[in-house]
Amino acid sequence: MKRKLISSILALTMIVGTIFTGCGKAETANVTVDNGNEQSDSERVSDAGNESASEDIAGGAPAAEADKSADDRPGAKWIDSGIYGTYEGMGEISLKDDFAAAINRDWAEGAKIREGAVNVSARTEQTDNYNEAKLAVLNGGKKDDQDLTSLQNYYALLTDWDTRNKDGLAPLKPYVEDLMSISSIEEMTKYYSDPKRNLYGTPMVSISIITEPLDPFFNMLCIQSVSLLSDEPDDYQKGDQETEGLAIKHKTAEYMLKRLGYSESEAKEIFDTAKGFENKFLPGIEAIMADMSGDPSITLTVAEFEEKYKNLPVADIFRSLGYDVDFKGKIMVGYTKLLDSFDENYSDENIEGIKAWTLVNTLLEFTKYCDFETYEETAKLNGSGTINDADLYALETMEATVPSMVDQMYVNYCFDKNIKPQVAELTDMMIEAYRKMIIEEDWLSDETKAVAVEKLDNIKLHICYPEKVYDVKCDAIGTSAEGETALSAIIKGRRYFRLSEAAPLSKKNDGTYWRYDTYYSTLAAMYMPQDNSMNIFAGICGGDYYDESWPLEKKLGGLCMIVGHELTHAFDTTGSHFDKDGAQKEWWTDEEQKAFDERVDKLLKYYSELVPMPQISDVPYGEEGAQLIQGEAISDLGSLKCLLSIAKEQENFDYDMFFKQLAVIQKQARYEEAEKEYVATNDHPVEAYRANVPLQNFDDFLNFYGIKEGDGMYLAPEDRITVW
């Protein structure tokens, strides 16, 4: 369920090519990335507006007389205030009826969605903030810093579309000629093993580095899948008929081949040859499609692995590419039947098919890395591809290839390092409050509470940025005057990416390094059950989330709400199956599990009746929708409970400021169509409800604003749904 969330990060890498992801169960399925932003735009959003505008405070005009009997479902008086333009023609909205709608109204009415984007929000505004800061450094003066110089040169090469357009696909040709000159399987192995020749970067498999599920102090290579053009059996059995996915790849590959100088018929033949080779995997594909559980992932020692895969020397190839597969000596295979097929067919007899298949997959990876025409035309063929301006294009390409270098640049030149100890202190305060919260729960035994507290105390705090990063160096990227081209720089960047990816393989997870140490200059916070770590990235410490000059109330309503949310993930339906070190272990009694499930059931019932977009449809979330969002909803509620316990300990706590900030971080203006998509697929509730629902569950909020039965924000004590 969470897999698509990590994909928002993985999508940045562009080093994909898999359809199945066989190791997801072990790793990514349990990752919770709370960036939730469906875009990463850099264009300025004009006038953020007054972020905490509200006319109505305690004692304000009461809501219109409620007609309770007409509709007593949850949130009956709410609108989805995150839909763009929704306030038009709407009368006054009292915060007693719909808190998020009242608080964010002024901002939303002035919000502008930039061209090509689908929304604007607290997230996109903060994304704009850090993108702007990064661009200023990339465009700024050189310093005595080789990595920064490389990044500045990289940026200049990527944005120099004139030169790139003049070069066209010529820089790619020598690599293609090299591949196509191969005439034996032995040469093919040499090609795959040579990172300077093999642009794809692996022996045509998609991989991830995962933490060992039963021994989280070690990592291992997981071969998720073979790089398939299609995973649809129909694509192989029905002659020329193609599914939409394959048709796009087919057109794109032929376009690239023709741009490289192949004739129409040659291009067609190469694609057909590639598909013909892949056709040999059909039995494996069918077996998986017929029963996804029928081909479970397996973990082998390296010796067993090498014994099993004798034709295709996968382990040796990865060794040559810089992956220390022998450090712990285990490899996981996601879909064994596919890798078996690849191994069986890795022979001189199939060499033409293997070459064509490798070429097609490689070209599909490089559509954004040539000239502008290729970028634009292949985006059109793709249907959903967007064309970004030069700055954003360059930033995205850099984040896809050298993310750690961009992160380090951000921390060194854009980020106020004083913020890190401040956030660490706030996080400690949250953990302390959380400990008390767990101890006070009446449905957990003392033994289980002790385990929970131990887990809480053992959480690895990854705040803002790591003190120590893996020792991986990118080959220096020069200027065009020094003979560097955009393509040669991208190839160096992709090589760096692979080495960075491989680095954790040769280190123990003993806390010295962050296990997941990339993208901390982007807007994300996440709890990782696999190493029991809380990750609050530098990229989220700004905008509506954090400012060091703010009073505590605003910090609690902003960034700390996110911190508490992540803490709760350590004890949600997923996190509770992992122990203090990140090993998969059950530590609840059956009785406690039952009590937990009952609490979750009540929450599920509430959400299943809640209508996500009442202005456009009266269809509620329903059971399925409630299941999708429950984990995130539980975490929002847990976080607010924790924050309120901290508030109670403060003198003269400004509840108004605190509650409003909770709504401000959820401000959102998203086009209707995109909102429908969000509701159907995102595992977070709509943003407006991420403020309203948690708030209405606590008397501190209801009493502060004098909210009573009949007000839209009111929720009777017996209907409340906090799980923690």
Residue ranges binding Zn ion (CB under 5 A): 32, 34, 632, 635
- Beta carbon of residue 546, minimum distance to Zn ion (angstroms, whole number): 18
CB 684 within 8 Å of CB 632: yes
DSSP 241: -
Say how far apart CA 544 and CA 123 lie, in whole Å.
8
- Beta carbon of residue 31, minimum distance to Zn ion (angstroms, whole number): 10
Distances from the Cα of 426 to the Cα of 326, 487, 552, 659, angstroms: 41, 44, 9, 18
CB 574 within 8 Å of CB 32: yes
Nearer to Zn ion, 32 or 297 (CB): 32
Give all strands (DSSP E) within 217-353, no chain letters.
Answer: 219-226, 298-301, 330-333
* Beta-bridge partner residues of 463: 536
- Beta carbon of residue 549, minimum distance to Zn ion (angstroms, whole number): 27
- Beta carbon of residue 632, minimum distance to Zn ion (angstroms, whole number): 5
- Count CB neighbours of 594 within 10 A: 12
Say how far apart CA 209 and CA 521 lie, in whole Å.
21
The residues near 13 (Cβ < 8 Å, ≥ 6 apart) are 400, 403, 497
Nearer to Zn ion, 695 or 707 (CB): 695
Nearer to Zn ion, 394 or 431 (CB): 431
Say how far apart CA 564 and CA 572 lie, in whole Å.
12
What is the CB-side half-sphere exposure of residue 117 using CA atoms within 13 A? Answer: 28
- Beta carbon of residue 501, minimum distance to Zn ion (angstroms, whole number): 25
Closest CA relative to residue 636, chosen from 697, 530, 561: 561
Question: Helices (DSSP H) in 474-621: which residue ranges?
Answer: 486-502, 552-555, 561-569, 590-609
73 Ramachandran zone, left/alpha/beta (phi>0; psi -120 to 50): beta
Q: Is the dihedral of CA 552, 554, 557, 562 positive or negative?
A: negative
- Beta carbon of residue 403, minimum distance to Zn ion (angstroms, whole number): 22
Between the two ends of the chain, the Cα-to-Cα distance in Å is 22
Nearer to Zn ion, 323 or 527 (CB): 527
- Beta carbon of residue 638, minimum distance to Zn ion (angstroms, whole number): 10
Nearest residue relative to Zn ion (C-beta): 34
Nearer to Zn ion, 201 or 529 (CB): 529
SS3 42: coil
Let me know how many helices (H) and strands (E) the chain has, helices first: 29, 10
**Using a CB cutoff of 8 Å and minimum separation of 24, what contacts does 547-552 make?**
548/416, 548/418, 548/419, 548/422, 551/654, 551/657, 552/650
Alpha carbon 597 to its chain centroid, in Å, reads: 28
Nearer to Zn ion, 147 or 636 (CB): 636
Nearer to Zn ion, 526 or 715 (CB): 526
Nearer to Zn ion, 152 or 630 (CB): 630
Nearer to Zn ion, 409 or 723 (CB): 723
Nearer to Zn ion, 638 or 712 (CB): 638
- Beta carbon of residue 693, minimum distance to Zn ion (angstroms, whole number): 14
Nearer to Zn ion, 630 or 635 (CB): 635
- Beta carbon of residue 662, minimum distance to Zn ion (angstroms, whole number): 15
Report which secondary-structure segment, H or E, holds 391. helix 390-401
- Beta carbon of residue 5, minimum distance to Zn ion (angstroms, whole number): 8
Say how far apart CA 694 and CA 609 lie, in whole Å.
16
CB 319 within 8 Å of CB 325: yes
- The values of phi and psi at residue 224, to 5°, are -70, -45
Say how far apart CA 360 and CA 25 lie, in whole Å.
29
Q: At 166, which amino acid appears?
A: K
Q: Which two tokens stand for residue 633?
A: 């909803």
Closest CA relative to residue 31, chosen from 588, 438, 566: 566
Could you write out the three-class secondary structure of 5-22?
HHHHHHHHHCCCCCCCCC
Could you write out the three-class secondary structure of 567-579?
HHHCCCCCHHHEC
- Beta carbon of residue 440, minimum distance to Zn ion (angstroms, whole number): 23
* Beta-bridge partner residues of 217: none
- Beta carbon of residue 411, minimum distance to Zn ion (angstroms, whole number): 24
Nearer to Zn ion, 242 or 632 (CB): 632
Nearer to Zn ion, 32 or 697 (CB): 32
Sheet hosting strand 219-226, strand order edge to edge: 205-211, 219-226, 330-333, 298-301
- Beta carbon of residue 687, minimum distance to Zn ion (angstroms, whole number): 13
Say how far apart CA 522 and CA 465 lie, in whole Å.
11
Q: At 372, which amino acid appears?
A: F
* Beta-bridge partner residues of 298: 333
Nearer to Zn ion, 171 or 564 (CB): 564
The residues near 455 (Cβ < 8 Å, ≥ 6 apart) are 532, 570, 579, 580
- Beta carbon of residue 2, minimum distance to Zn ion (angstroms, whole number): 9
- Beta carbon of residue 686, minimum distance to Zn ion (angstroms, whole number): 15
- Beta carbon of residue 181, minimum distance to Zn ion (angstroms, whole number): 50
Nearer to Zn ion, 211 or 635 (CB): 635
- Beta carbon of residue 525, minimum distance to Zn ion (angstroms, whole number): 8
The residues near 291 (Cβ < 8 Å, ≥ 6 apart) are none
Nearer to Zn ion, 29 or 53 (CB): 29
Nearer to Zn ion, 336 or 639 (CB): 639
What is the CB-side half-sphere exposure of residue 357 using CA atoms within 13 A? Answer: 26
Nearer to Zn ion, 518 or 535 (CB): 535
Report which secondary-structure segment, H or E, holds 669. strand 668-670
- Beta carbon of residue 637, minimum distance to Zn ion (angstroms, whole number): 12
